[in-house]
Structure 1
Amino acid sequence: MDAAAFFCANYCHGFPLRCDSMIRSALLMVALLTDAEAFRVIGGNVTVVQGGTAILPCYVIDTTDDLIEITWQRRTREKPRNDNFFTILPRDGAQFVNGGDDRFKYIGNFNDKNGTLQLSNVALKDEGSYTCIFTLFPSGNQKTEIPLKLFVPPFTSVKDNLPTLGTEEVLFATCTAAGSKPPAEVRWLTGALGDKVRSTTNSTHYDNDTTTTVSSLFGVPTREINGHQVQCVISSDSLSEEETLPFTIQVYFSPTEVNIRAKSEDSFECVTEANPSANFTWSRSGQSLLQSAVKVEGAKLQLLSLSSDLNGLYQCEASNTYGSKHGQLYVHVASGACSAAWALFGVLLFLNVVGAAAWYFYKHGCSQRRSLNQHGGKQHDTKLHRSVRNDDRGPEEEDLQRDQEESL
């Protein structure tokens, strides 16, 4: 006699059969509740970044019940109704229900009562709730719910508003973090500019639970602020680290005063300030440029030969998208430039003639002196000879001889 029959025989004399049935049902319920408390179905919350891979964990521990089947259900943005989409059977293995999706892969083990799934290339449409159901004997169905939460990184960008030179506050640029989930934070780092600029931030929330955040940078477009570096910093739980977008403030203006500078005797350069940089065009008033006589390279003009053919008024035009200005250069090459060469040649010829004449007279003079020296030497010898012979001559004779020598 089992426990239920013993209890009914001793305490339920009026209705033994009915008592036996009730007691057995109660004992069975106690046994099931005891088993249910003994084992657990393990799942968990899953968070993944869009495009990544999600692991949906599901397994049973602390039970010796037989596993009959594992079933997966889902309720997502794409499929709001909870329905079966995947089953695992001991003989047939893993298979899709109501259409396949190759992004899902069974990575568990049936014998270990492990129904874990892997979902690759997760999209926003996959966000939702996934239910894992174990069919056990004799315990019946046991399940757990696994919420899948998706992070969507923003598409980030900085847009130049192309401000032009002025005295009123305008929009310099916008920094955008589009389609982020959860919403992103967008801010500007302006450094030394301080209160010369200010920013505002606006957000737009969409039905798919993404948010676009836009931060706008304002200031007065002056030349002093042109070229300053700022940074747009974007942070979000969907980003592994803050994203920094550098930006250079550009104030656009047409060319200012155009100056023409002489780089050398025959080379000139057109100089101006403009943003964007100016394009330069050289022209000659009333005439076309002589391609064989001048060379143009952007802002530079070079005269290849100095002749009066180059005389005239030259104009340098500096232009960009926002306007143009020009400067002028007057070139005058005197006709004496060629005569000077002939004059130089004449001077050189004259110097050559004078030099030749001087050389001629110098040589001729030397020849005469040599002739005189030879003749005078004979006289001197004669005189010397005579002076030797007339060594005892008187004073009058010596004076006469001295006068003769001086005359020679």
Structure 2
Amino acid sequence: PPSPFAFSLAQHQGAQDVRVQVAAEVRGNLGDTVELPCHLLPSAPEIRVSQVTWLRLDAPEGKQNVAIFHPQYGRSFPSPKPGKERLSFVNTAPSAGAGQGTELEVRDATLSLRGLTVEDEGNYTCEFATFPKGTSRGVTWLRVIAQPQNHAEKQEVTFNLDPVPVARCVSAGGRPPARVSWLSPLDGEAKETQGSGPLPGTVTVTSRYTVTPLSEADGVKVICKVEHESFQEPKLLPVTLSVRYPPQVTISGYDDNWYIGRTEATLNCNVRSKPEPTGYDWSTTSGVFPASAVAQGPKLIVHSVDRLFNTTFICTVTNAVGTGQAEQVVLVRETPNTAGAGATGGIIGGIIAAIIATAVAATGILICRQQRKEQRLQGAEEEEELEGPPSYKPPTPKAKLEEPEMPSQLFTLGASEHNPLKTPYFDAGVSCAEQEMPRYHELPTLEERSGPLIRGATSLGSPIMVPPGPPAVERVSLDLEDEEEEEDYLDKINPIYDALSYSSPSESYQGKGFVMSRAMYV
């Protein structure tokens, strides 16, 4: 909608600096009170208001002076319509007469109109006569609206193959006319008509929703949607359709296993209808009704099956609209039909097998996921171990005291001969049991030195007898083989042990003995 206020600038007799402030459009509800605002701007003291006049230029009778206010002569309402009974100036008391209007009151010429009617709709001009600026005016469009009254209802219809109205929606007494539409899941259409409303100038809109009245349309909910400018939001009116139709019949209970002698078999007559059924009738196409069959409304109870049941049964249902029926062919067997039972058992077994297979598959999936999780954790631990220092310690090599080969000759300690003791050699490839224990040789005492010297002895002491060892060549070959095996073993364990390898003792100790002083035992 337009802005509530618009400015009309008067350009008459040089009055460019004087303007009349009015509303471009004013809407009022039918029968209510509405105000038409009008102000003179600016309120300069040198501008004097001679008279204020409200005019209607598009009245059916022609131009009308609706209301006049004079500072000296007061207010007046010369036109019979709307008339002084329904008009008044908002900022002047009703008792204000000649000479009682102030300058401030005159500059506010807002007009009040009570009991709004359709004939009051039109253009109203507010005109100020001022001195020395002349005349200034502004125009307001007064719109009269009426809020409609709405209701929707179903139209009960009977089953038919031709489209008929099944619902009606009425929006009565609206101004302007309301807009009516339908929201429906059915494939229908709306047909609209308009007529005079309860008050002059109002309109009543009637919309009928048309559809083919089949049984499927019964109970379907449709919505009538009414829109009007007096509503803040559309009005939604739900309607549940009602279609009357004859009975729709089906028969159940036959399991293809009726055999001679079977007891307590039953046929059921299932009905869908509106209104409710008023009667059920069971019959056969052969015209012969078995004596052991008892009809109880929608049920046919069979106490004992015989050959007379080898026929077609008919269930006929009646209601207020019409009649419907259904047929069921019955085949009587000599013996029970075990195929059906087997099929039923197979179905049950299949269901159980499917449940078991599902459970097994779920268990397998869970186990696989758990194994994958453990493998990932184990792999992560191995990566951490590889990144850090070795977490294991190789076995400590067993000590092997290699006994040097001693030649079959005597050695004596003299001042000119010194052989330092060698560090014992440990062979990791030979067990302690296989290693020979070292042989200790004592130095002679002073008393023992008095004996004769043997070849090679010195004056420092008696000669030392050393038993002969194995041949030197054979011993050297064995030592070399042991040394190679030892180096291969250490290389396989860890390259860090290369630095711990000792030189072969075969060369250092070949032809020498091992001497220990008695001072070791002190």
TM-score (norm. length: structure 2): 0.39
* Larger strand share, 1 or 2: 1
Task: Give the structure with higher Rg (CA).
Answer: 2
* Larger helix share, 1 or 2: 1
